[in-house]
Amino acid sequence: MVTPPPPPLWSHIAEWNQCIPNLLPCSSRLPASHQVSQQGTCRMARWLPRSTDLTRFCQKLNRVKTLEADMMETSFNRCLSTIDLTLLGIGGMVGSGLYVLTGTVAKEIAGPAVIVSFIIAGFASLLAALCYAEFGARVPKTGSAYMFTYVSVGEIWAFLIGWNVLLEYMIGGAAVARAWSGYLDSIFNHKIKNFTETHVGSWQVPFLAHYPDFLAAAILLVATAFISFGAKVSSWLNHVFSAISMGVILFILIMGFVLAQPKNWSAQEGGFAPYGLSGIMAGTATCFYAFVGFDVIAASSEEARNPQKAVPRAIAFSLGLATGAYILVSMVLTLMVPWHTLDPDSALADAFYRRGYSWAGFLVAAGSICAMNTVLLSNLFSLPRIVYAMAEDGLFFQVFSRVHPRTQVPVIGIVVFGLLMALLALVFDLEALVQFLSIGTLLAYTFVAASIIVLRFQQQKADGPAQPASSQPNPEQREGIAAPEQKEYESFSDKLQLVGSDKSKEHREPGQLKAAFEPYLEFLSDFYPGEVVTVAVVTLMVSAVCLCSILVFGNTHLHLPTWSYSLLLVLFSLGFVLSLLLIWVHEQQHSTQTFQIPLVPLSPALSIVLNIYLMLKLSYMTWLRFAIWLILGLLVYFGYGIWHSKENLREPRPQSVSARYVVFPSSSLEETVQAVQPSSQPAAGLPDTDTTEDKR
């Protein structure tokens, strides 16, 4: 009798569920040696992420916010008019910079050509402001750059933008409070500082101020109390300070033109542009930050009565008035006294003093303090609302999403962040952190500009799943209407001509390739609407970063030879232009109901390049602090935000299916499939019992 050979190894294998989730284990049928090797392999596989898990994780990071059907519905009080929003924007832009920045740039950077610097900076700010205006009209929700990024780009990018804006407003408000107290203290010959150092003491500790500034902390606490009373009270207080500030500016302009001396622009005094074009452009980079503050209008859109019209108008009016004020004050200042004799710390007051009008210095001081008050109110007004938007979406702690039923403002956020601002102003040295404000603002401008391009070329949301551009159904097919009867043509050439004319008149959705370019770029029609545009926007931003890096660091840090410097500039410029053209050949949304920025995608693309260039001009210490703050933000997001996000709750739960395979020596296969459903809902279309199928 011949002993049959042992069954092959594969016939002992039963269920590898520890390695492959869909296969359930039955390792007891294996020999001991094979069980040991299987366990080691399974331990390794358990630590390796699956491609489906990585895909799902990336989808979570890039999910966009679902907007409500009625975006005008809000728990805030819609009480702000166009004038209210305009004065808020002016208060955010025309601050102490008008009294300090103009003299500093004129003497040390550009000379009388600071006027040209402000004109260029105003135009550059207009590109970013128009992006905010379109978003504020289309999405009348609080949150500003955070909200705009969330509805178009993705969740993690929106959180990082909001996280940076939080620090920007906190440091900005505390810095303005310290400047306010220092300016007031200088009027009284620094008696407040001397009294504090004598009775409280001073210290020499890195990152801390030399003495505690109780006056700066006190003004922040008082402003916090007023902001807590509601948007109407805050707006009224801003009206008062803005009216005084604009009255002082009007006085400066009238008296300044009366005392103007054109010879101060003559060649004997150095000419109009003593530092040349390089000085004008360097002055532009500095003057650009004077216009930071118009985003308070977008942050207040949820409290505007008619945001579709009020937000774009308020942004345009406030930016125009602020630009005009900066240009005219710079002109008056450099005409009153020679530019090289200006006092950078108090240029306007010193100019009036030297012309024999020392009493005018008190008016200038009063205007400066009122202007700083408006900036302070602007920061305290915007910050809690951005925190509220993040908390309302579940990305930040829920306690900050509570709105007071009577005042209809997020009181908890106002009080908590007002106290944090007061603490910063009390003990910290903010001079080293002020540059941090620039990088957060410029990053927000960059993402808002990119969001405009993405949103403009997105397809309108439909109930059904998206389909490739080449297979879009007709409207009659989508609505269940019978298709029209077939047309009869007398000849084949007539048929071709009519078909061509019908195709040219075919309505195309946003994100689809334009009909005129389809014969030349037919391969792009196979992609989903908006997919090519999204890839092109990413390519455009990468090209802009590389191009600006070569411009900023090519000759100074990288020491590139002339040929490689020129070659890289041409290559990255070509990539930028090609990405721009690739976006332009697609259809975009056209709306007559709300404001839309003209010349898309050119206008946002120019804003992106400018913002990236200015960011790369900042010091490496600013980038280091920025990286540390980003790491802290990522810890908050992955520790809290990603789990409590409302978009996470809206996602459908995956239906997992487990299968069991057992192979017997007789070569029969038994398969058991069991549907695993959440306890709250039954499996749709699946039986409740296991299905067993024998395959022989």
Can you name the residues that pair with 663 across neighbouring β-strands? 669
Dump the DSSP string for 245-278.
HHHHHHHHHHHHHHS--GGGGSGGGT-S-TTHHH
Sheet with 656-663, strands from edge to edge, namely: 656-663, 669-676, 691-695
CB proximity list for 224: less than 8 A, separation 6 or greater: 380, 414, 415, 418, 419, 421, 422
Q: Name the token pair of 382.
A: 């915007």
Contacts 24+ apart (CB under 8 A), 677-681: 678/653
Lowest mean per-residue pLDDT among 4-13, 236-245, 632-641: 4-13
Whether the per-residue pLDDT at 491 is higher than 60: the answer is no
Distance CA 565, CA 552 (A): 11
Whether the per-residue pLDDT at 355 is higher than 70: the answer is yes
- Top-ranked range on mean pLDDT: pick from 74-83, 592-601, 628-637: 628-637
Q: Name the token pair of 600.
A: 């898309």
pLDDT given at position 687: 40
**299-326 residue pLDDT tens:** 899 899 999 999 999 999 999 999 999 9
Contact predicate 608/547, CB 8 Å? no
Give residue 514's identity as a one-letter amino acid code.
K
Sign of the C-alpha dihedral computed for residues 486, 492, 497 and 500 taken in this order: positive
Half-sphere exposure of 389 (CA within 13 A, CB side): 32
The closest alpha carbon to 95, from 342, 237, 336, 292, belongs to 292
**Average pLDDT of the residues of the chain:** 80
The closest alpha carbon to 394, from 158, 114, 54, 695, belongs to 158
CB proximity list for 434: less than 8 A, separation 6 or greater: 171, 175
Distance CA 346, CA 614 (A): 27
pLDDT-above-90 percentage for the chain: 40
Distance CA 146, CA 310 (A): 20
Lowest mean per-residue pLDDT among 135-139, 203-207, 438-442, 625-629: 203-207
Choice between 636 and 13, residue whose per-residue pLDDT is larger: 636
Please, is 8 exposed, middle or buried when counting C-beta atoms within 10 Å of its C-beta (0-12, 13-18, 19+)? exposed
Distance CA 26, CA 44 (A): 19
**554-568 residue pLDDT tens:** 888 888 899 999 999
- Per the rule left: phi > 0, alpha: psi between -120 and 50, beta: everything else, 97 is alpha
Distance CA 1, CA 448 (A): 84
pLDDT given at position 82: 94
pLDDT band at 508 (very low <50, low <70, confident <90, very high): confident
**222-265 residue pLDDT tens:** 999 999 999 999 999 999 999 999 999 999 999 999 999 999 99
pLDDT band at 15 (very low <50, low <70, confident <90, very high): very low
Contact predicate 579/533, CB 8 Å? no
pLDDT-above-70 percentage for the chain: 78
Distance CA 443, CA 161 (A): 7
Distance CA 99, CA 90 (A): 15
Helix/strand/coil for 488:
coil
Please, is 488 exposed, middle or buried when counting C-beta atoms within 10 Å of its C-beta (0-12, 13-18, 19+)? exposed
As a whole number of Å, the end-to-end CA separation of the chain is: 29
Distance CA 630, CA 624 (A): 10
Distance CA 534, CA 308 (A): 26
The closest alpha carbon to 294, from 84, 92, 448, 147, belongs to 92
Choice between 349 and 661, residue whose per-residue pLDDT is larger: 349
pLDDT given at position 353: 86
Average pLDDT for residues 568-577, to the nearest whole number?
96
**16-68 residue pLDDT tens:** 444 444 444 444 444 555 554 555 555 555 556 678 888 888 888 989 998 88
